[in-house]
Amino acid sequence: MKNIVIFASGSGSNAENIYNYLKNYNNINISLIITNNKNAYVIERAKKLNIPCEIIPKSQFKNSDFVLNTLKKHNANLIVLAGFLLLIPEYLINNYKIINIHPALLPNYGGKGMYGDNVHKAVIKNKEKESGITIHFVNNKYDEGKIIFQAKCDILPNDTYESLAEKIHALEYKHFPHVIVDVANKLD
């Protein structure tokens, strides 16, 4: 059994989508959701889905023993970032394969502060013709890890950042779960 731990800072819609997709697999499981935000809606989703959830504030991420022991307790094989807004500490990168989804076609529109609507507003402001998602391995810099997968969507002249966000969410929901399964199945 491959155990996935999802890190999320917000609503958890991607976490729930991943959970629903993984119900069809006997060899992959979400063993834990970790959030750094005590007010994140992902906590409610975790309760509803009966997935253990730990709130680990930003300050506690500096405590490598605590975080690594938490992951070990839940037999983590893979960490999946699904709207997690903290820079991942080096000790996690050195101990786990970690994948992230980004709401743009990296290397464009990546880096610190480039998440969610900030990305979509910048893409619309710059009158881009297309956007998309990038799923990548995590390294010690925001959005610079090796790219695993990208999917694109067209941006129409009448698109707003809200309508672009809807297109991006559709791509995330469609592609992120199967890429997670592919990565998990390649682990030792």
- CB contact set of 109 (below 8 Å; sequence gap of 6+): 119, 122, 123, 131
Whether the Cβ atoms of residue 136 and residue 145 lie closer than 8 Å to each other = yes
Element (H, E) at 137: strand 130-137
Q: Which residues are catalytic?
A: 102
The two structure tokens encoding residue 171: 């791509």
- CB contact set of 102 (below 8 Å; sequence gap of 6+): 110, 114, 119, 133, 134, 135, 136, 143
Question: CA–CA separation, 143 vs 136, rounded Å?
Answer: 8
H/E/C letters for each residue in 2-61?
A: EEEEEECCCCCHHHHHHHHHHCCCCCEEEEEEEECCCCCCHHHHHHHHCCCEEECCHHHH
Burial of 23 (0-12, 13-18, 19+ CB in 10 A): exposed
